[in-house]
A and B are shown apart, each in its own frame.
Chain A
Amino acid sequence: MKRGTASVTAEICRKFGNDRSRLMDIAIAVQERFGCVSHEAMEEIARAVGSHRVEVESLVSFYSFLSVKPQGKVVIRLCRDIVDWMKGYEAVAEAMSRELGVTMGETTPDGAITLTHTPCIGMSDQAPAALINGVVVTHLTPERGRQLIRDLRKHLDPQQLVTMVGDGNNEHPLVRSMVRNNIRMRGPVHFAPFDPGSGLRKALALAPAEVIRAIKDSRLRGRGGAGFPAGLKWEMAAGSPGERRYVLCNADEGEPGTFKDRVLLTECADQLLEGMAIAGYAVGSDTGIVYLRGEYRYLLAFLESRIEERRRKGLLGRDILGRKGFHFDIRVQLGAGAYICGEETALISSCEGFRGDPKNRPPFPPQQGYLGSPTIVNNVETLCCVSRILVEGSDWFASMGSSRTTGTKVLSISGDCRKPGVYEVPFGITPAELLEMSEAENTGTLLIGGPCRQMIGPDRLEGRICYDDLATGGAIVVFNRARNRLEIAEHYLDFFIEESCGHCTPCRVGLILLKDLVHKVIEGAGAPADLAEMRSLSNFIIRTSRCGLGQAAPNPVLGALEIFGDLSAGFVAERRPGLLPEFDLSKAVIDAELRVGRQSKYV
């Protein structure tokens, strides 16, 4: 073992109270210090927190930002989301790979720099982008990629790559990021001025049950995408037996193409933290946790400073705003690169210091969640709404939007449009209006709500963005007519295969088999029966998977098939009976040809 590894690791564990449930923080801190969590460090951690090495390894091996094997001092994670790919990912990847002299996934021989790729990092409006040890670089080109590697070789300090900072709080000394907010439309709920404490004061003038009543009256539905009524969730948590209760904020925003929570965390942190305190008061909780995705680590110090400032102002901590007995405090739990942790029970597992495996339901989190206690998990945007509802009133909120989906929605629009960015719009808006606002032309396919939701064609542009028609957690990805829908579907299948937790059979195995079929058709080797098989395999995966990931992963395939009509003729054809279309004779004999040194003759 490296000298000091054991003692440093033990010290890190002590810092987190040798608490088994803080295993995420411990592993992240060790990774940061040593570039990996080695077997030796795992032994030490297990000893300190009273666990077993294999349990620590179970956690470490689950999260893509953690590693058992040493990585470079600098790790470049180039974002390979479909939008990055549309904006030139491949050329950037190749340039960086050449400049470093390593292939994707490798580390330079001197152990200095690792180059790898990662799924959507929440920067689709400024793609291609990369995370370099947590520092975000945006709008990459092959030339900028080469240059930043030359710079890194000199100083190995990613922060020095930030020569220009973005707008708003991106220029705050604790953020100092080149990320831009790109807020294109400011609505009254999120982007109007907010006076810290104003919502909490209104809440404290009411009884907890009345606060829940107010949220129910506003008909606020969860902004994560599922649209569960927030007030109902709170009521369930408040009414479930338990010594303690918890308020968790889901800031894991992992859905490809979504980045609105990033902007809300940057610009509306107070509104969010206040929403959590209001929730705490309403359900009788004294502890809140913001689960911040590892990709947004650059916002961590900033968020913690806002929490600290609220403590100073008496808006967090003990006897909040002088109310005897109302205690509520918040900590930030950092994630480490796992899409599934946006699923609420997986998020809870992660906060508890485990792999991000979703849990079996029932029980549901409002009954038994974090550490077995009643827990509410609300999305960033939902909690921001809460603060505004308390300030402006339920009726005000319910007067906006469509009849069954009240309020406004913050959307992230990206892809083939001239004005990618964040738009706060009233619910009920149509995709056609969104395309006009974002200056998209010649649109062929629209992804509403990311790959886990639905892909629509030009025939549905007059639908309504709301929970009863086109539901979305926040992503709108625009594809022009030149983009191949099946290729889009294949890209997202790769994403889900990578991000599946692997717990249940249909998701772990079924998605690979589904991708096989899609790929075969794209390659021109498909038969009409393959399209039918794609549908039935998708249906099987959706019906039998344990959690939302598997239940949603085939959606892009089904979407592509539904709007496939104009393309299907070119893709699949009836074959002569007895012939396997996927068998390519010329490919099959390549090895033999190489051996004998001549081309085969066949008809």
Chain B
Amino acid sequence: MSRVTFTIDGKTVKAIRGQTILKAAEAAGIFIPRLCAYRDLTPHGSCRVCSVRVNGRIQAACVQTVAEGAVVESETPELQEFRRNLVDMLFVEGNHFCMFCEKSGFCELQALAYRFGIAAPRYRYLNPKRDIDLSHPDVYIDHNRCILCGRCVRASQDMDRKNVFQFVGRGSRKRLQVNGDSLSETDLKATDEAVSVCPVGALMRKRVGYEVPVGQRRYDGQPIGEDIETREDK
């Protein structure tokens, strides 16, 4: 495996040729915030939260591969503002009610907002009218909280070997759709990876909402990304 060396915010990083900047950074213990990227799912490049500056040009770190000698900037004031804008926009685009959401504490959108110090959005709420699909016995979709990251679309295809989800419509009318008139008509199972990968409270298992008490949830104790930043083996 051939290796390349580049820098992120001045720190020298060694990576495998062909690796994405996001993965290479992660392996080096540097957390680049992200929402649509998830482990080995095909990169989507849609949320743009992982935007970094590569040799002066802004690129999504989840799709951009490393190059020898590249100069990557991530924690600059400009990029931090861009990321705050993006998270803000995802909040106002949907209808998010953190204080009532059973995903609270596990939600990556909320966790990023905390990490960035966002107390309230700076943009006006778009207040869209969106549906909730409760037809399935074990899983439900709350479109109000969907951020169109496409993790479930990809996980259903690549991990579950099904095709339960797709996007329909375009632009501001783009939304998640299931392969049938409602979720109960699909072959989705509560154990499918597609359900687990949702970063927000859009695709949820029923009857498990408060199994972990508030206060003991993943991001209640540590900020998102800290696990990467404090890894022992880096």
Q: Which residues of A contact B (CB under 8 A)?
A: 39, 52-55, 57-58, 61-62, 338, 340, 355, 360, 362, 497-506, 508-510, 512-513, 516, 540, 543-546
Contact = CB atoms under 8 A, between A and B. Distances in A.
B47 A504 contact: yes
Contact of B82 (A360, A498, A544): A544
15 contacts: A54-B166, A54-B168, A54-B178, A58-B168, A62-B168, A62-B169, A338-B170, A360-B45, A502-B172, A505-B49, A506-B85, A506-B86, A508-B174, A509-B89, A540-B82
Nearest to B89: A509
Interface stretch (B58-66, B68-76, B99-107, B131-139): B58-66
Contacts of B117: none
Contacts of B47: 504-505
Given A53-B179, A498-B171, A544-B58, A504 B46 contact: yes
Among B46, B60, B82, residue most surrounded by chain A Cβ atoms (within 10 Å): B46
B171 A500 contact: yes
B82 A543 contact: yes
Contacts, number: 114
Given A360-B43, A502-B148, A546-B60, A57 B168 contact: yes
A388 B48 CA distance: 43
B200 interface: no
Nearest to A57: B168
B157 to A, nearest CB: 10
A501 B58 contact: no
Contacts of B148: 502, 508
Contacts of B90: 505, 509
Among B45, B47, B82, residue most surrounded by chain A Cβ atoms (within 10 Å): B45
A210 B121 CA distance: 59
The 8 closest A-B pairs by CB, nearest first: A502-B174, A54-B179, A509-B89, A61-B168, A58-B166, A500-B171, A54-B166, A52-B163
B129 interface: no
B93 interface: yes
Interface residues of B, number: 40
Nearest to A68: B168
Contacts of B172: 497, 500, 502, 508-509, 512
A279 to B, nearest CB: 29
B177 interface: yes
A360 B170 contact: no
B174 A53 contact: no
A506 B89 contact: yes
Contacts of B166: 52, 54-55, 57-58
B180 interface: yes
A246 B22 CA distance: 32
A505 B170 contact: no
Given A58-B166, A544-B51, A546-B60, A502 B171 contact: yes
Contacts of B164: 54
Nearest to B47: A505
Interface in B138-184: 148, 163-174, 177-181
B123 interface: yes
Among A338, A501, A506, A508, residue most surrounded by chain B Cβ atoms (within 10 Å): A508
B51 to A, nearest CB: 5
Given A52-B179, A53-B179, A512-B126, A501 B171 contact: yes
B27 interface: no
Given A39-B181, A53-B179, A502-B167, 16 more contacts: A55-B163, A340-B170, A360-B45, A360-B63, A500-B171, A500-B172, A501-B170, A501-B174, A502-B170, A503-B174, A506-B85, A508-B93, A509-B90, A540-B85, A546-B45, A546-B48
Contacts of A509: 89-90, 92-93, 126, 172
B168 A513 contact: no
B207 interface: no
Interface string B32-52: 000000000001011111010
A1 to B, nearest CB: 14
A497 to B, nearest CB: 6
Nearest to A513: B123
Given A504-B48, A505-B89, A513-B123, A53 B169 contact: no
B124 interface: yes
B127 to A, nearest CB: 12
Nearest to B83: A544
A502 B169 contact: yes
Given A509-B89, A509-B93, A54 B174 contact: no
Nearest to B86: A505
A373 B148 CA distance: 29
Among A338, A505, A509, A540, residue most surrounded by chain B Cβ atoms (within 10 Å): A505
Contacts of B123: 513
Contacts of A57: 166, 168, 177
A355 B49 CA distance: 24
Contacts of A338: 170
Nearest to A550: B48
Contacts of B124: 513, 516
Contact of A355 (B46, B170, B173, B180): B170
A41 B95 CA distance: 34
Contacts of A340: 170
B123 to A, nearest CB: 5
A509 B121 CA distance: 13
B141 to A, nearest CB: 13
A117 to B, nearest CB: 16
B84 to A, nearest CB: 10
A55 B180 CA distance: 11
Contacts of B163: 52, 54-55
Among A509, A540, A543, residue most surrounded by chain B Cβ atoms (within 10 Å): A509
Contacts of A500: 170-172
A546 B171 contact: no
Contacts of A497: 171-172
Contacts of B45: 360, 503-504, 546
Nearest to B174: A502
A510 B51 CA distance: 15
Contact of B48 (A52, A498, A505): A505
Nearest to A62: B170
B151 to A, nearest CB: 14
B46 A503 contact: yes
Contacts of A505: 46-49, 86, 89-90, 93
A53 B186 CA distance: 11
Contacts of B178: 54
Nearest to A509: B89
A509 B125 CA distance: 11
Contacts of B48: 504-506, 544-546
B120 to A, nearest CB: 16
B166 to A, nearest CB: 4
Among B51, B65, B168, B169, residue most surrounded by chain A Cβ atoms (within 10 Å): B168
Given A500-B171, A502-B172, A510 B46 contact: no
A172 to B, nearest CB: 35
Contacts of B167: 58, 355, 502
